[in-house]
Amino acid sequence: MNTPVMNASHRPLMLAGFRTDSTFEDIPIINLADARHPNPDVRRALAVEIRNACINVGFFYVKNHGIPEETISSTVEAAKRFFALPSSTKMAMDIHKTPNFKGYTALLGENTNPENRGDLHEGFDIGWEEPAGSSRTDDGAMTGENVWPDGLPGFREAVLEYYHTAVRLGQSLFPLFALALDLPENFFDEKTTKPAAIMRLLYYPPQTGPVDDRVQGIGAHTDYECFTILWQQDDVKALQVLNANGKWVDAVPIPGTLVVNLGDQFARWTNDVFKSTVHRAINRSGVERYSIPLFFGTDYDVKLEALPSCVSDDYPAQYEVVTAGEYVKSRLEATYAHSNSEH
């Protein structure tokens, strides 16, 4: 069923059964300048834009997002220094050796699309850590301390500064997503008390010469959390988003913006009313590419249960109820299984 894009004056209270065909050709740009506007009508109007993007595309750019340029550039510099370390130094922080997916992923260490041969990127993953240095010990299935490289002064500080700034941006988005779902603005507050945010630094070498189609920078996949906040390098086109016609739509870098895309947790909360859209990245630019995704989900102990407004007799709940932590962990295990020498 094709349903036209909703607008503010036609907002059904029931979202269940509301479907679009997701044949988008463009990714909308949303201005977050009014995200905390004192007038609730202004916030609601912004939430309607977000709702349309979530229902039709699952991806949008944000401008006026509040992450300072200096915070971004010092983290990108930190990433460049990290990936330039000798392989043996990086392998000492191998993600397979750490509790719950913290640390370094080598080239081809991940395989986001099981039909592929491994992803052509290197990565460095961290979870929550206080700026002063302590991590949490109560993240259930996902508990595990970050690992940090020796001999890179300022690296940890730069990365944690970006992490906390992006987490604050994410915290300001949850009320807008709640409004977009006709829920009270504070609906996600009690579900996001211990930010379950995973941040990655990613490095994509250029793919030149004959390219095996099954080797991509990151293979076709959906993200696992509620949403992702992605910084991508300005001058390199690589990220692509799949529409319902099977067409890969380029998410070209737009200076001054970040990309926000929905992940599976929001698809589960909304019984697929919000789209967790398939995407991939292929770096055929001839130059190195860096990107920084931050994946933000509900607290790891929170159950992912379809919202009543997104379920009806005609459109029953599509997913089994699991906790956010169980879900993220199981997806990460599958992603890394092929490179885990213990298996």
Ligand X SMILES: O=C(O)CCC(=O)C(=O)O
Please enumerate in sequence order all residues whose Cβ is within 8 A of that of 108, keeping only pairs 6 or more positions apart, or say none: 117, 118, 119, 120, 215, 339
- By DSSP bridging, strand 29-31 and strand 59-63 are parallel
In whole angstroms, what is the distance from residue 103 CA to residue 240 CA? Answer: 26
Shortest Cβ 289–ligand X spacing (Å): 7
Helix (H, G, I), strand (E, B) or coil at 57: coil
Interacting partner of 291 out of Fe ion, ligand X, none (Cβ under 5 to 8 A depending on kind): ligand X
Burial of 237 (0-12, 13-18, 19+ CB in 10 A): middle
Interacting partner of 95 out of Fe ion, ligand X, none (Cβ under 5 to 8 A depending on kind): none
Closest to 229 (Cα-Cα) out of 131, 297, 157: 297
Backbone angle region of 202, left / alpha / beta, with phi > 0 → left and psi within -120 to 50 → alpha: beta
Question: Residue 119 or 272: which CB sits closer to Fe ion?
Answer: 119
Backbone angle region of 17, left / alpha / beta, with phi > 0 → left and psi within -120 to 50 → alpha: left
Q: Applying CB under 6 A, which residues contact ligand X?
A: 200, 202, 218, 223, 230, 232, 238-239, 279, 281, 291, 293
Shortest Cβ 229–ligand X spacing (Å): 11
Q: Is 223 in the site for Fe ion (CB under 5 A)?
A: yes
Site string (169-208) toward Fe ion, x via CB under 5 A: ----------------------------------------
Shortest Cβ 143–ligand X spacing (Å): 22
Indicate the residue whose CB is closest to Fe ion: 223
Partners of 227 in the β-ladder: 262, 296
Q: Is 225 in the site for Fe ion (CB under 5 A)?
A: no
Please identify, among the stretches 33-41, 194-202, 223-231, 313-321, the one whose residues bind Fe ion according to the rule CB under 5 A: 223-231
Helix (H, G, I), strand (E, B) or coil at 227: strand
Question: Residue 56 or 276: which CB sits closer to ligand X?
Answer: 276
Question: Residue 122 or 223: which CB sits closer to Fe ion?
Answer: 223
Give contact residues for Fe ion (rule: CB under 5 A): 223
